[in-house]
Amino acid sequence: MSISFDNALGIHEKALAFRAQRAEVLGNNLANADTPNYKARDLDFSAVLAEQADKMAKGGSSSNMPTLTTTSGRHIEAEGIAMTTTDASLRYRIPTQPSLDQNTVDEQVEQAAYAQNSLEFQASFTLLNSKFKGLIEAIRGE
């Protein structure tokens, strides 16, 4: 009897990938805190979760690989880049008080979101680690 990792791990594998991608988006926000006209963005976990659950319920693939197009011959090829979310889940953050240069990044909000995302990533990783340990014990017959 074969082990189905999709059944054994469930949505937790996708949640871990989402948390990694959200860390990248939040890091971009922090890096552009002083860039004029930069608009802070964030990923909506509930939208991504609902999208993935719908795909899994319909029996389709739960992976989402958008195609990348270039508008200029001078663009760098982006081969091997795997995206787990759609542009619909990447939303602009509503600013509490935008700066005079129209930058909407609030460093304290971004740092708090990054710290929370880091904790959630670690929790997802710990959960997946325990699931893998359980699978190993099942295979060994312990």
* pLDDT value, residue 64: 47
Average pLDDT, stretch 68-95? 65
Stated pTM of the model: 0.68
Domain limits for position 53: 5-140
What percent of the chain has pLDDT above 90? Answer: 34
What's phi and psi for 90, nearest 5 deg?
-90, 105
What percent of the chain has pLDDT above 70? Answer: 74
The token pair at 48 is 């991504």
Angle between helices 12-31 and 45-57 (to 10 degrees): 150
In the chain, the number of structural domains is: 1
Q: What is the number of other CB atoms lying within 10 angstroms of the CB of residue 104?
A: 19
pLDDT digits (tens, 9 = 90+) for 50-65: 776 777 677 654 444 4
* pLDDT value, residue 38: 93
The token pair at 67 is 């195609």
